[in-house]
A and B are shown apart, each in its own frame.
Chain A
Amino acid sequence: EPEVTQTPSHQVTQMGQEVILRCVPISNHLYFYWYRQILGQKVEFLVSFYNNEISEKSEIFDDQFSVERPDGSNFTLKIRSTKLEDSAMYFCASSYQGYNEQFFGPGTRLTVL
């Protein structure tokens, strides 16, 4: 069964460093998303991406964040200068249509020290 994959599973970084989280969405999906989940809290939307551009972003997704689809398979989230409060699980998701079923990856745990 096709699935969304994410790498790395765990990333530890120092405050102020740049990180890139990688995702491979399901191959025929057209819509891509990033969400985050701070430990013990609900899942929060960060950004949606379609046709090589951002469709919508939340207030969390400030200038420190960017997304890219560098090739036909990868979808990345970059945090330019990490802060302590960026520590969270980051989930990538994809869907075939705009708001049909979204399938989530296993997540990347980001720890900012």
Chain B
Amino acid sequence: QQQVKQSPQSLIVQKGGISIINCAYENTAFDYFPWYQQFPGKGPALLIAIRPDVSEKKEGRFTISFNKSAKQFSLHIMDSQPGDSATYFCAATGGTSYGKLTFGQGTILTVHP
């Protein structure tokens, strides 16, 4: 019930393309869904987050789409750049587990020039 499932495991995109990473959760008490970007040897950096009262949130080239009924959310990176090459983690928290982030398995994104 606490799992967050993320796909794909790896993704290769050409520069200028759209990268799409998907996550699904089971716990209906989750009500905060952040995405983190991690470069090798670094800590996860918060990229963008959404709460279930909206279906979409956009910040620059990054958009989260949220489907509450399907218990799914996704990250879209528009106009992907080589500098976006990193590992992306979705996460979720909520209910009685204040602050306990449950992470997905991660997606290694490679953007070719």
Given contacts A42-B105, A48-B100, contact A99 B89 (CB under 8 A): no
Whether B98 and A42, one on each chain, are in contact in the complex, defined by CB atoms closer than 8 angstroms, is no
A104–B46 CA distance with the chains assembled, in angstroms:
8
Query: Would you list which residues of chain B between 2 and 50 have a CB under 8 Å from chain A?
Result: 32, 34, 36, 42-46, 49
Query: How many chain-A residues does the 8 Å CB contact rule pick out?
Result: 25
Closest 10 CB pairs of A and B: A104-B43, A98-B98, A43-B103, A42-B103, A99-B99, A104-B44, A106-B43, A45-B100, A48-B99, A99-B93
Whether B89 and A56, one on each chain, are in contact in the complex, defined by CB atoms closer than 8 angstroms, is no
Q: Binding site of B, secondary structure by majority: helix, strand, loop or mixed?
A: strand
Which residues from chain B sit less than 8 Å from chain A, CB to CB?
32, 34, 36, 42-46, 49, 89, 91, 93-94, 97-106
- Among A4, A43, A55, A107, point to the contact of B99 (Cβ < 8 A): A55
